[in-house]
Chain A
Amino acid sequence: MEVMIQQLINGLFLGSIYALMALGYTMVYGIIKLINFAHGEIYMIGSFIGYFLINSFNTWGILPNAWGFFIAMIISMAASALLGVVVEFLAYRPLRKSTRIAALITAIGVSYLLQNVMIYFFSPDTRPFPQAIARKAFSIGFVSVSNIQLLILGISVSLMIILQLIVQKTRMGKAMRAVSVDTDAAQLMGINVNRTISFTFALGSALAAAGGMLIGLYYNSIDPMMGVAPGLKSFVAAVLGGIGIIPGAALGGFAIGLIETMSTALGFSDYKDALVYAVLIIILLIRPAGILGKNIKEKV
């Protein structure tokens, strides 16, 4: 029982990272109906930027400890946002009017490209992520929590709240919602669709970079292929919660994290990925649009 509760809490922390990434998937999908397979690679590059920055801070002897981590995270988020916008501009924008499957293949091409560019220039080796923040474990009753886990949950949740505020309260957020409902009508109302889509990519990529740095800090290792499996799983999270719906992505992320750690606690750790997919398929069969999704009737 104690193990179960401990794993439940671990699942919460892991789930918050999946949720951060799933938000990027869900926003992009909601707005241009594209499964952005390169999102996992942005997450990987985000963690690499953080790695190089923290290491340089250490060699220059400036910004020690937590300060270095936060500054590195902000720079990494900004750089990844820029990368996301560039990728969208060069690879996806020319395909806006063509079939969705062509856009999907392009996204896969971009993901291959980013992976292999990183492998080519920075070797495929696994690197230890600098532990800028010393790990401290607290125990509350029989449950133990580390400060890094709390940091992950804190940062993720605050980023999600900021995102929700941006989407609900700002003009840009209003434009995003309008474009996702009807691109043409939004354009007629004077919304700059291209700029809105770029902004969406920037937001999603910044969140993915934050997730990448947090996971680097948590697992203490990063490598150029680290984006593939979490990328796929957080996409599953986005679908599970109802793709295109922002609270759904957060819910799906936490659900995936919990399923994973619970299956480990129950002794099925070898089958945890299979279990994640099985749950996804069952949910899709019961509610084809995801947990929070609305079923849209097709017009004849």
Chain B
Amino acid sequence: MKKNLKYNLTWLAIAAVIYFGLFALYNGGVINLFTDAIIANIGINIILAVSLNLIIGFSGQFSLGHAGFMAIGAYATAIITRDNPTFGGFAMGILLGMLLAGVIALAVGIPTLRLKGDYLAIATLGISEIIRILIINLSGLTNGPAGIFGLPQFSNWQVIFIMMTLSILIVSNFIHSGPGRATLSVREDEIAAESMGVNTTKYKVTAFVLGAVLASVAGSLFASYQQSVFPQDYGFMKSIDVLIIVVFGGIGSTTGAVVAAVVLGFLNMYLQDFGNLRMIIYALAIIVIMIFKPSGLLGTWEFSVKRIFNKFSKKEDDSNASTNS
């Protein structure tokens, strides 16, 4: 435990350095409204990608329903801050979204996670579409297809950054905990894991629920940052966008998810200048990257503080460095 604390503190220190770097950039006036939107978007995409990577990359369950859980968080926050425009209301919205997303993920996860591979993908896709259609049709609560706008903005880049750091810490600590190891064993070989006494359903559902809860947080932040929610923002394409980030970074690498979110965020920023050609270039980029580097940018490689520590302390040989942290 104490050892983990050391690594986590190092991580927090790294995060603090990046935070103050950004802070200096903001105060120095380097960042305008446009770059601020890019940074906020990257932060939100990192939360989404890291949480989807937990489901796809670490537990090996192919989910296409991430946008649905994001929509739950977004709408919970939007509805609460519409009636109660205080910071407390915003916090309550996030918590309610997390709770709702968790409960729904649990309810749909237990039966659907029995399905395998593509069938699970289609079932989760169906669930997220059902959530979206319910949002469109429950217009008394959600204002239907017109969406809700004019919300107070509580999530700025600082809130997003803190939440992003927390999500990364939660996910990476989960992976290196006992349940996390069990989850990885389910990914490697479900039948073998089961025969070794691992309760596969339990760990699959745990990862799925945790991923869904984090997606809901990302949705809350997104709604509050955009100051509006529209049902069409949380369609099938949103799930695909997140999936592209995960695959682009390397399935099963948290570092990869972060790097890919940053790279794609900046790519999108530069592509803005191309106007209508933007989506064509983006699509071509996806195809070309997948053909030439199908394992993603980083594969399953992780940036690891522990390895660096080990390198400096050099107590033993490097063989235990591969059991990274």
Contacts and interface: CB of A to CB of B under 8 A. Distances in A.
B309 interface: no
A117 interface: yes
B287 interface: yes
Interface in A70-122: 91, 94-95, 98-99, 101-103, 105-106, 108-110, 112-113, 115-117, 119-120
Interface string B284-313: 101100110011000000000000000000
Contacts of B127: 277, 281
B280 to A, nearest CB: 5
Interface in A258-285: 270-271, 273-274, 277-278, 280-281, 284-285
Interface stretch (A162-170, A211-219, A232-240): A232-240
Q: How large is the interface on A (under 10, 10 to 19, 20 to 34, 35 or more residues)?
A: 35 or more
A247 interface: no
B126 A101 contact: no
A145 B249 CA distance: 53
B111 interface: yes
A54 B99 CA distance: 55
B283 A102 contact: no
A182 interface: no
Contact of B191 (A91, A109, A120, A300): A300
Given A120-B280, A273-B133, A284 B123 contact: yes
A125 interface: no
A271 B279 contact: no
A289 B122 CA distance: 12
Given A105-B244, A105-B290, A119-B276, A273 B129 contact: yes
A106 B126 contact: no
A284 B119 contact: yes
Given A112-B279, A116-B283, A120-B277, A106 B290 contact: yes
A119 B275 CA distance: 12
Interface in B81-106: none
A278 B128 CA distance: 11
A112 B129 contact: no
Contacts of B283: 109-110, 112-113, 116
Nearest to A235: B122
Q: SS class of chain B's interface: helix, strand, loop or mixed?
A: helix
Interface string B116-136: 101101110111011001101
B69 interface: no
Contact of A113 (B118, B122, B284, B291): B284
A105 B286 contact: yes
Given A109-B290, A117-B280, A284-B112, 8 more contacts: A102-B294, A103-B290, A105-B286, A119-B279, A120-B276, A235-B122, A284-B122, A285-B114
Interface of A: 29, 35, 91, 94-95, 98-99, 101-103, 105-106, 108-110, 112-113, 115-117, 119-120, 228, 232, 235-236, 239, 243, 270-271, 273-274, 277-278, 280-281, 284-285, 288-289, 298, 300
In the A-B complex, the 4 residue pairs with the closest CB atoms: A277-B126, A109-B286, A102-B294, A112-B283
